[in-house]
Amino acid sequence: MVSKRTSTITRETGETKISVTLSLDGGGKFEINTGSKMLDHMLTHIAQHGIFDIKIRASGWDQHHVVEDVAISLGKVLNEALGDKRGITRMGYALVPMDEALAIVAVDISGRGYAAIEAPFKRKKIGDLDTDLLRHFLETFAIEARLNLHAKFLGGTNDHHKAEALFKALGRALDSATKIDKRILGKVPSTKGTIESS
């Protein structure tokens, strides 16, 4: 029997106030309000295509700090919800098209935070969000979730389409990696017998 894989974190600093709840075995439900419509839009793709239930409330005086602290909090709740990682598939990837755009994301829930991002945008903004903050979000999320994350654009001309493909692929890759494999119930998917969580 797998325990309930959920976690909640509240993070309050002089710059931001963040609340994040994550259920790994959800149905793709989301309630997300970060103060940026475009960031909300990207995060809903993680919930819907990862089939996670996610609630996020975030506020702050500077967009950079809000994006960074949401990434920190979401990474931490993912790591906590996974517990000791027993029975998880551990690795996952997704190749996702969005019209002319194509993105690939691969993850390994290894206990080591690392990000390799090859996802350049032509514009400085998509909607109300600085495009550079999407890269920063992914890097920060990977470090706090203690996973390896590789993300790359394989094609695309429209920055909005490229960003959507990227976050849909992230959701799908995380869904694959966090799934319970019944063949290894009770076992940690590592030759070391453990995956670091802190």
- Dihedral over Cα of 179, 172, 92, 111: its sign: negative
Residue 1 pLDDT class (50, 70, 90 cuts): very low
Distance of CA 157 to the CA centre of its chain: 24
10 Å Cβ neighbour count for 130?
Answer: 18
Structural domains of the chain sorted by starting position, each given as residue range(s) with its CATH number in brackets: 6-184 (3.30.230.40)
The two three-digit tokens of residue 105, written as one number:
């994301």
Q: Determine the average pLDDT of the residues in 173-196.
A: 86
State how far the Cα of 189 lies from the Cα of 195, in Å rounded to an integer. 8
How would you list the strands of the sheet with 16-23, edge to edge? 6-12, 16-23, 53-60, 30-33
pLDDT single digits (tens) 10-31: 999 999 999 999 999 999 999 9
Residue 133 exposure: Cα atoms within 13 Å on the Cβ side? 21
pTM summary value: 0.95
| Residue that is written with structure tokens 């550079």 in the block | 132
pLDDT at residue number 3: 64
Tokens of 58: 């975030």
- Residue-wise pLDDT tens digits, 132-184: 999 999 999 999 999 999 999 999 999 999 999 999 999 999 999 999 999 88
Instruction: Report pLDDT for 179.
Output: 96
